[in-house]
Amino acid sequence: MSTLKSRIEGLEADLMARPMRHAIYHDLPFAVFCYPPEEEWAMRNELRLLKTRLEQQADRAVVTISLAELLWTSVENSEGVATVTRKEQRDGFEAAQAQINTYLSDPDWQPLPELLLERLKPLDPDRTLVFITRAGALAPNLYRVSKLLDEMKGHIRIPCVLFMPALADAGGIRFMGIAENEGRGSYHTKVYTE
């Protein structure tokens, strides 16, 4: 059995338990599941299968929320892709990345935490489980996943699992395996790693 499959089984057992064992804090009912970035397509397939099993056996609806979709919603609702494209052409990639970070962070624009909370708010915490996917869209430094989790603390009751392409080693978690991201952020959640 592959490492990914066996780790998914461990997560599944924690999600099937009553009460669920995937979260550490009641005011942040999140877990982070890390997987090697090169296993993105395998992970998507495993998530599809896990969703089916959980819906059949755990009597919960599984809702998938894409961080990539929320990212582009923020950009479009702020100044639009054309503005970011012009900024990158004029000032370079780093400046465009910083502008998108402003859209995702600044309350005057479309902050990522607010967009996520909007999607979570109507869901029933006793009947729903949320898979948050496509975190790789935030690479290399558009928005830190640890910051998102900090912003969620105390605001939700819906059990969530954030699936993040990241490598874990003695130095911590490296988002997307990028060396400059080594050891950045504190996740304050249960983290499933290799």
**Structural domains of the chain ordered from first start:** 3-68+113-192 (3.40.50)
Q: What is the pLDDT of residues 16-72, one digit of tens each?
A: 988 888 878 777 888 999 999 999 999 999 999 999 999 999 888 999 999 999 999
Q: What are phi and psi of 178, to 5 degrees?
A: -80, 125
Q: How far does CA 22 lie from the centroid of its chain? A: 15
Estimate the crossing angle of helix 81-91 against helix 67-78, to 10 degrees: 80
CA distances from 161 to 63, 94, 110, 136 (A): 11, 30, 23, 15
Percent of the chain having pLDDT more than 70? 93
pTM: 0.91
Q: Could you give the dihedral angle defined by the CA atoms of residues 97, 101, 103 and 107, in that order, rounded to the nearest 10 degrees?
A: -160
Strand partners, 162: 32, 132
